[in-house]
Structure 1
Amino acid sequence: MAEPFALLMPVYRGDDAAHFTKAFTSSVTQQTRRPEQVVLVQDGPVGDDLAAAIDAAVTASEVRVVHHVLPENVGLTRALTEGLALSDHDIVARMDADDISLPERFAKQVPLVEGGLDLVGTGMLEFLDDDGSIVGKRVPRTDAADIASYARFHDPFSHPTVVYRRTVVDRVGGYQAMGLMEDYWLFARMIAGGASVGNLAEPLVMYRVGAGAYARRGGRAQWRSELALQRALRGIRFTTRGQYVRNVTVRGVYRFVPEPVRKVAYRRLIAGDRAKA
């Protein structure tokens, strides 16, 4: 039986106006199965161009939009938490403000949640900012047991692609701050809590790869977040002592290698989704 679902999209001052417009239209207007509600969380003040793009999208949308404006930038974790609370529906689809949903995304993905899955992601196509060239394809694990096993070392879901049940997210404590890894921490807790999970191998989201994408994955701040995540995973017994040591060693080294090496390592070892050039 078909259920209504909401689209949850955060936007902040660092997002590009044209990219936001494409993300919004591709996930709402151009979908063969549209959401019944859009929860657009504006995380703090934005520039004039982005403000105009947001206003135009909200005004023109044939789908009801809840435009929730936070008075200051509070970060993704709180923005998503507040957005989830505003959803009228239990099924919620995530989308970032600089990526692109392919037209059949929700027509193919939402029925899997209606059919019993609590969390489902998809494959992704990576494309460049400047000319739109496809530079990679991420193919996720699709079997539930394989996903659970792989989650001990990798994030088995690409956050901008997921659709989940809000009640299950709430049951495990929702989004919690964990550096830039609040999604991995959430998905691990969902798996540990017995959630039914899956992925579609088909790429249904185009992921924008901009300048500095791999540089941001390195450095001391990311290492601190990585260490906090690994301690948290061990704390809930999601990983064994041996897996914890392996993760801290391998993923820790990854945070400090030169950027070109990090790019290769991410695609071959860290991403965990069989990324292909």
Structure 2
Amino acid sequence: MDRPDPAHPLAASTAPFSLLLPVYAGDDPGFLRLAFESSVQEQALRPSEAVIVQDGPVPEALVAELERLEAESPIPVRMVRLPENLGLTAALNRGLEACSQPVVARMDADDVSRPERFARQWALIEAGYELVGTGMAEFDSDPSRPSGLRVPPVGAERIREHARTHNPFNHPTMMYRVAALDRVGRYEPFGRMEDYWLGVRLIDSGARVENLAEPLVAYRVGAGAFARRGGWAEARTEWRLQRELLRMGFVNRGQYLRNVVMKGAYRLLPAGLKRVLFRRLIGGGLPGDRSPRSERG
């Protein structure tokens, strides 16, 4: 790990990991700038490079912002420009191919990383963990005013048990060893659940996984976030995932039947009701809420 120059006390140290950040036409240039700067300039421990995947054509304002970030970044930036929009799964896999470091940290183009995020995760990666996630603080427009928390399960046993019913990792917070992903085939297409499917396969492969409960990423909740989790297409993806979990022996038949009924029904609920149920039963409650439900994640 590089150490700060003593002549520049505010200079951050760096570690051998890549920042992987996909961008597509719908992203906001201002949100992208905040996401990038919070994950590079403002980090106590910086990545040694950033890999930005432009997933298909983007508006001129976003092109200009990408060029500005590339020119002004304090670390090297590798730009991967895909001629067509291939979707998140393909974009992440193409980005992984461009990453030169053995460890990769995920970031979305509209979220915000806390300054201590990578230092906290890197300590666990150095201790031998292969995937480390963190909690998230949801916000609507101001990252400093969270509207909810997503507290993940902590500890291998709790993570595995949680994964039988819900995604145990917050995808935008992941830091992982590429070698662990190589063992399971990296990202595979699975609707909007490619991250859940990746996490289950990593757990099932014996990878050492962990979560930090603290909200080290601020997650922007757009107006359509919960609507996108619903509908018949999402329900069918959920049922397909449950069949795969049963086939691989990750859940038993009783758990499978329960998940098919409960999670399928959740996907078909109105967006507003899904948001309420998610925060009460899954997301972890509001800041300062240390109820047993919040502790379970």
TM norm. shorter chain > 0.5: yes
How far residue 130 of structure 1 moved from its aligned partner, in angstroms, is 6.8
Is 2:262 the counterpart of 1:258? no
How far residue 133 of structure 1 moved from its aligned partner, in angstroms, is 3.1
Which of 1 and 2 has greater Rg? 2
Say which SS state the counterpart of residue 34 (structure 1) adopts.
Answer: strand
Is 2:58 the counterpart of 1:46? yes
- Give the whole-Å Cα distance in 2 for the aligned partners of 1:33 and 1:117: 18
Is 2:239 the counterpart of 1:239? no
- Give the whole-Å Cα distance in 2 for the aligned partners of 1:19 and 1:165: 27
Matched to 1:181, the amino acid is M
How far residue 236 of structure 1 moved from its aligned partner, in angstroms, is 1.5
Is 2:114 the counterpart of 1:102? yes
The 5 A counterparts of 1:148-227 are: 148-227=160-239
- Give the whole-Å Cα distance in 2 for the aligned partners of 1:251 and 1:44: 33
Contact preservation (8 Å) 2:148, 2:279 = no
Say which SS state the counterpart of residue 45 (structure 1) adopts.
Answer: coil
Within the candidate set 17, 22, 30, 1:5 is matched to: 17
Q: Which residue of 2 aligns with 1:22?
A: 34
Superposition misfits of 4+ residues, deviation over 4 angstroms:
none
Give a deviation string over 1:197-238, Cα, whole Å, max 9, x none.
111111110000111111111101111111121112222111
- Give the whole-Å Cα distance in 1 for the aligned partners of 2:247 and 2:65: 43
Is 2:286 the counterpart of 1:276? yes
How far residue 35 of structure 1 moved from its aligned partner, in angstroms, is 0.3
| Structure 1 residues 60 and 131: alpha-carbon distance in aligned structure 2, compared to 1, 3 A threshold | closer
Matched to 1:235, the amino acid is R
Say which SS state the counterpart of residue 15 (structure 1) adopts.
Answer: coil
Say which SS state the counterpart of residue 276 (structure 1) adopts.
Answer: coil
The 5 A counterparts of 1:93-132 are: 93-129=105-141
Is 2:291 the counterpart of 1:267? no
- Give the whole-Å Cα distance in 2 for the aligned partners of 1:59 and 1:230: 45
Give a deviation string over 1:36-80, Cα, whole Å, max 9, x none.
011111100000111111110011011111100000000000000
Say which SS state the counterpart of residue 43 (structure 2) adopts.
Answer: coil
Q: CA RMSD in A?
A: 1.5
